[in-house]
Amino acid sequence: MTDKPRAADPGSTGSAPGGSPGAGKDAGDEPRVVIRDKRKLGKVTEEPANDASAADAAADAPAEGLVEEAEVVVDEIVGEAEVAGPPVVDSPAEPSGETGGTSAPLGAELESLRSDLEERTRDLQRVSAEYANYRKRVDRDRNLVQEQATGGVLTALLPILDDLDRAREHGDLVGPFGSVAEQLTGALGKFGLTAFGEQGDPFDPTRHEAVAHQTSADVTEPTCVQVMRRGYQLGERLLRPALVAVADPE
């Protein structure tokens, strides 16, 4: 009798008792579903051999168990998929226009800051110019007040200087008294006091006060021919004009 092809032994397919070949693999691998055709298994051999029937029963028992386990696993996977719902696909982010919306306020704020800076700069320049003018005015006023105060003191001393001039003309300014007169004149000169008015000076109406007039053939212009009292000035400021007699040309 010709032997018919026999169903493959469960051990030859790499299956282990009570499990499948995938039982020894990683737990994360998907379960393999093994489906066996029982009709082919029934036609494997026509000889009623006890050992072949026992082998077929041993092969069918694990296969049926694997089919049931596979159906259970498939049902669980389908149930979890239905509960979780369809996969969520991230849609590409749509441009929200935040860049343009943010740049516009930034530009406006920048322009505002620039205008404020320019205004503050102009204010600072104006204040600096006003302060410089203020300092100049204060210095000028201070010098003027100081000059007026000095001029007031010197003006009060001018009669004493007139007496000294008359004593000098009469020859009385000698000895210790003459030394004191020279020291006083030198000290007042340090404050800027200068005397003017000498015989023969051209007549200047802004500096000379004419108390007498006469004509003379010796002069070609109005000339001071006699000084009755000398004049004094403090710097460019006139403290007192000189009293003179003026001779006009004939």
Q: Distance of CA 195 to CAs 22, 26, 112, 170, 242, Å?
A: 133, 125, 67, 19, 9
CATH classification at residue 176: 2.30.22.10
Can you give the pLDDT at residue 172?
Answer: 84
What's the mean pLDDT when you consider all of the chain?
Answer: 73
Does residue 156 share a domain with residue 74?
no
Name the residue among 119, 151, 170 with its Cα closest to residue 240.
Answer: 151
Q: 0.95 exceeded by the pTM?
A: no
56-81 pLDDT, tens digit each: 554 454 445 555 555 655 566 556 55
Show which of 38, 54, 84 is a domain's final residue: 84
Can you give the pLDDT at residue 177?
Answer: 85
Does residue 243 share a domain with residue 162?
yes
Does residue 158 share a domain with residue 244?
yes
Say how many domains are in the chain. 2
171-225 pLDDT, tens digit each: 888 888 888 989 998 999 998 899 999 999 999 999 999 999 898 888 889 999 9
Show which of 84, 108, 137 is a domain's final residue: 84
Q: Distance of CA 130 to CAs 123, 126, 137, 143, 194, Å?
A: 10, 6, 10, 20, 37
Token output for 191: 């404050």
Tell me if 195 is assigned to some domain. Answer: yes
Can you give the pLDDT at residue 103?
Answer: 74
Tell me if 58 is assigned to some domain. Answer: yes
Strand order in the sheet with 193-196: 193-196, 231-234, 237-240
**Is the Cβ–Cβ distance between 181 and 157 less than 8 Å?**
no
Which of residues 250 and 201 earns the better pLDDT score? 201
DSSP E strands in the chain: the ranges are 193-196, 208-216, 223-229, 231-234, 237-240, 242-249
Does residue 159 share a domain with residue 71?
no
143-163 pLDDT, tens digit each: 889 888 999 999 999 999 999
Q: Kindly indicate the confidence band of residue 27, based on its pLDDT and cuts at 50, 70 and 90.
A: very low
Can you give the pLDDT at residue 170?
Answer: 86
**Is the Cβ–Cβ distance between 224 and 244 less than 8 Å?**
yes
**Alpha carbons 25 and 33: distance in angstroms, whole number:** 15
Q: Kindly indicate the confidence band of residue 107, based on its pLDDT and cuts at 50, 70 and 90.
A: confident
Show which of 84, 101, 131 is a domain's final residue: 84
Q: Kindly indicate the confidence band of residue 104, based on its pLDDT and cuts at 50, 70 and 90.
A: confident
Mean pLDDT of all residues in 38-48: 45
Can you give the pLDDT at residue 236?
Answer: 86
Give the residue numbers spanning the domain of 40: 10-84
Q: Is the pLDDT of residue 132 over 90?
A: yes
Does residue 245 share a domain with residue 164?
yes
